[in-house]
Amino acid sequence: MKKTNRIIALLLVLSMVSSLSACKLHFNLHGKASSETSETTETTTTATTEATSSVTTTAKETETSATAASVIDKTGIPEKGCKIEFKPVEDRYHYDMDLTLDKEEKTIGGHVDFTFFNDSDADWDNLCLRDYPSLFKDPKTAGYDAGVWTNGEITDISNIKDGRTGASIDMSRDEDVSVVWLPLATPLAPGEKMTLSYDFIATVPTVADRYGVQNGVFNVTNFYPILAEYTKDGWSHEKYYNCGECFYSEISDYDVRLTVPENMVVLSTGLEQGETQNDGSKTITIHADCVRDFVFCGSEEFKTVEGDYKDTHIRVAYTEENKALTYKTLAEGCLEASVNSLRVFGEAFGEYPYKDLEVILAPIAAGGMEYPNLIIITKDIGAGSDINNVINTVGATIVSHEIGHQWFMGIVGSNSGMEPWLDESFASYTEYVYDYGVNHHRSYIDPSVILGDAYIDDEWIRNNKSVDYIPINRPFYDFNYEGSFITAAYSLGKDALIAMDSCLEDGEFYGIIRAYVQKCAFRNATQKDFFDTLYQYAGTDNKALNKIINSYFDESVQPPAA
Ligand SMILES: [Zn+2]
């Protein structure tokens, strides 16, 4: 997710930071140091900095003179633009769903047959499902402060059956109503397979949010009861939060029959296989391979612009809102930015492995939100600006960030409650990768200048306990308030990764990330996976790199003694 709705809070935070010695110095491409906050870096540097290859060399020399030149061991680093192969079919879970969206009642529901296996070493004597729509009823009475309070209802889940025996399963909920427990009369042994069947009806709340309907646009996401992740500590059911990305699930295939009003234009995870007309409705058949979730957006007012990048078909949906040219231009700019993102990220991290990418300009309070094969961008972002501004600026901030999540959340999953920087910091770093690859603007962060002790030991920060950005690699729940989390996971996380990149030769850090993506593709990674990869290729004795890690991250990920 890219947050803009809390921009005032964030700007307040950043203005507090910038009034201190805690500004970050960015070497621009003319080799001069300039003082900027991270937010202004994102929004202004493309306008103020032009790059040419010769200037880049000069800037690099400036940088390398401040830090030790590095040589990484490139043995085993995948080639640029390498393929990312899907997980074998037998290792994926499978959701088979018959769904109906009731536009008048604002409900989504139907029947689910979910086939999966126990991928742990322990017997499962119960299952845990996550039912996020129920949190949209009244999160406060559920003991939650999820920041969402709408006209939602508790999801009706019924006819739950264990396919091995045909036995019915009685469910219960925690005080956190999104946590649903299903006791199994016959435990599921390690490696054993079963099909769980259930019916559900969830209310789509009337709200401009990542899950909700507003102005006839349905954002139907995280809407069906989904199996939680089983970890060494048991079923993971961290508290929902309405910021960033707080979902954690397993790679699955989906076969979906989705019934919607006959005039509704639907964009979804996966590929449409066909469509049948009913009386006043239509049923769309959809198949998705190797994804963590299935979502869709629908509206009777959607128009689309479409394009391709290699084997991937891209559709951008928008509504006209009486400003047809403005919104169409915005959509066309977002299409171009999407093509750019797939090109640049594909070369840097490995090719986007899916055949479709859907981009929806929709009512949503945040700047954007990411799902497998589908991103939502707030419909008014950049509206009215010219197409090049949309491509360059909206592209380098929102579109690139959400498409970056296709690699860091989608392909490489993680527990975003416990290690939120693993997807948000990497997605924020992809904004820079876009800016460099498309706008030819390479930022440098010199760790020897930026991350001196002044940053962390600053008296003001010590005396203001609510400002607790560092270390950035903490669970969401360990930050004192959301603004701290946003600054840490988005701005400082992006800076930390740019700073690591700055310690290495051009392209080397992309190579290390590419190796991390290959190693962890289609499973849930931990930060140890990333740091093991980093140390494998960059060594544990790179002083500049170690200083960055020491400055931004806690002791759990520090390099082992060389
Ligand atoms: Zn994000």
Half-sphere exposure of 74 (CA within 13 A, CB side): 12
Residue 451 pLDDT? 46
For residue 409, report the distance from its CA to the centre of ligand 1, in Å: 9
Domain boundary among 250, 268, 297: 250
Tokens encoding 326: 């403005």
Half-sphere exposure of 542 (CA within 13 A, CB side): 26
Note whether 443 and 549 are same-domain residues. Answer: yes
The total domain count for the chain is: 2
Q: What is the CATH number of the domain that holds 177?
A: 2.60.40
Q: Check: CB of residue 476 under 8 Å from CB of residue 485.
A: yes
For residue 156, report the distance from its CA to the centre of ligand 1, in Å: 30
Note whether 142 and 117 are same-domain residues. Answer: yes
What residues pair up with 231 in beta bridges, in sequence order? Answer: 234
Note whether 480 and 499 are same-domain residues. Answer: yes
For residue 402, report the distance from its CA to the centre of ligand 1, in Å: 6
Note whether 444 and 538 are same-domain residues. Answer: yes
For residue 335, report the distance from its CA to the centre of ligand 1, in Å: 19
For residue 425, report the distance from its CA to the centre of ligand 1, in Å: 8
For residue 486, report the distance from its CA to the centre of ligand 1, in Å: 10
* Alpha helices (runs of H) in 4-92, residue ranges in sequence order: 7-18, 38-48, 53-66
For residue 405, report the distance from its CA to the centre of ligand 1, in Å: 7
Residues 6 or more apart in contact with residue 223 via CB below 8 angstroms:
108, 132, 133, 202, 204, 211, 295
Note whether 148 and 74 are same-domain residues. Answer: no
Is residue 332, in this structure, part of any structural domain at all? no
Residue 557 pLDDT? 95
Q: Which helix (H) or strand (E) holds 308?
A: strand 303-309
Residue 7 pLDDT? 36
Q: How many CB atoms lie within 10 A of CB 472?
A: 26
For residue 561, report the distance from its CA to the centre of ligand 1, in Å: 33
For residue 368, report the distance from its CA to the centre of ligand 1, in Å: 8
Instruction: With H, G, I as helix, E, B as strand and everything else as coil, classify residue 380.
Output: coil
For residue 255, report the distance from its CA to the centre of ligand 1, in Å: 27
Residue 58 pLDDT? 29
Domain boundary among 197, 226, 250: 250
For residue 484, report the distance from its CA to the centre of ligand 1, in Å: 15
Residue 5 pLDDT? 38
Spatial distance between the Cα atoms of 206 and 227, rounded to a whole number of angstroms: 26
Q: What is the DSSP letter of 79?
A: P
Spatial distance between the Cα atoms of 160 and 323, rounded to a whole number of angstroms: 48
Note whether 468 and 501 are same-domain residues. Answer: yes
For residue 158, report the distance from its CA to the centre of ligand 1, in Å: 34
Note whether 97 and 190 are same-domain residues. Answer: yes
CA distances from 452 to 21, 40, 129 (A): 10, 21, 46
Is residue 339, in this structure, part of any structural domain at all? no
The candidate with the shortest Cα–Cα distance to 129, out of 46, 213, 226, is 226
Q: Check: CB of residue 174 under 8 Å from CB of residue 181.
A: yes
The candidate with the shortest Cα–Cα distance to 294, out of 524, 127, 99, is 99
Tokens encoding 287: 């198949």
SS (H, E, C) 134-178: HHHCCCCCCCCCCCCCCCCCCCEEEEEEECCCCEECCCEECCCCC
Tokens encoding 364: 């949503």
Note whether 98 and 43 are same-domain residues. Answer: no
For residue 29, report the distance from its CA to the centre of ligand 1, in Å: 27
Note whether 244 and 104 are same-domain residues. Answer: yes
Is residue 217, in this structure, part of any structural domain at all? yes
Is residue 244, in this structure, part of any structural domain at all? yes
Q: Which amino acid type is present at position 517?
A: V
For residue 102, report the distance from its CA to the centre of ligand 1, in Å: 30
Q: Residue 14: give the domain boundaries.
A: 7-83+411-557
Q: Check: CB of residue 97 under 8 Å from CB of residue 112.
A: yes
Is residue 374, in this structure, part of any structural domain at all? no
For residue 208, report the distance from its CA to the centre of ligand 1, in Å: 18
Residue 481 pLDDT? 78
Apex 369 CA angle, 360 and 224, nearest 5: 90
For residue 245, report the distance from its CA to the centre of ligand 1, in Å: 7
Residue 459 pLDDT? 53
For residue 1, report the distance from its CA to the centre of ligand 1, in Å: 3
Is residue 312, in this structure, part of any structural domain at all? no
Q: What is the CATH number of the domain that holds 51?
A: 1.10.390.10
For 262-300, what is each residue's pLDDT tens digit?
999 999 999 999 999 999 999 999 999 999 999 999 999
Domain boundary among 221, 250, 279: 250
For residue 424, report the distance from its CA to the centre of ligand 1, in Å: 5
Q: Check: CB of residue 490 under 8 Å from CB of residue 424.
A: yes
Spatial distance between the Cα atoms of 543 and 451, rounded to a whole number of angstroms: 13
Note whether 120 and 199 are same-domain residues. Answer: yes
For 475-493, what is each residue's pLDDT tens digit?
999 988 788 888 899 988 9
Residue 560 pLDDT? 85
For residue 8, report the distance from its CA to the centre of ligand 1, in Å: 18
For residue 423, report the distance from its CA to the centre of ligand 1, in Å: 7
For residue 10, report the distance from its CA to the centre of ligand 1, in Å: 15
Q: Exposed, middle or buried by CB within 10 Å (0-12, 13-18, 19+), for 342?
A: buried
For residue 328, report the distance from its CA to the centre of ligand 1, in Å: 25
Which parts of the chain have pLDDT scores under 70?
3-70, 138-150, 322, 324, 446-467, 562
Dihedral sign of CA atoms 522, 525, 531, 535 in order:
negative
Is residue 362, in this structure, part of any structural domain at all? no
If phi > 0 it is left, if psi is from -120 to 50 it is alpha, else beta; for residue 495 that is: alpha
Note whether 145 and 18 are same-domain residues. Answer: no
Is residue 489, in this structure, part of any structural domain at all? yes
For residue 421, report the distance from its CA to the centre of ligand 1, in Å: 10
Note whether 42 and 144 are same-domain residues. Answer: no
For residue 209, report the distance from its CA to the centre of ligand 1, in Å: 15
Spatial distance between the Cα atoms of 227 and 129, rounded to a whole number of angstroms: 4
Instruction: With H, G, I as helix, E, B as strand and everything else as coil, classify residue 290.
Output: strand
Angle between helices 7-18 and 38-48 (to 10 degrees): 90
Spatial distance between the Cα atoms of 510 and 347, rounded to a whole number of angstroms: 9
pTM: 0.86
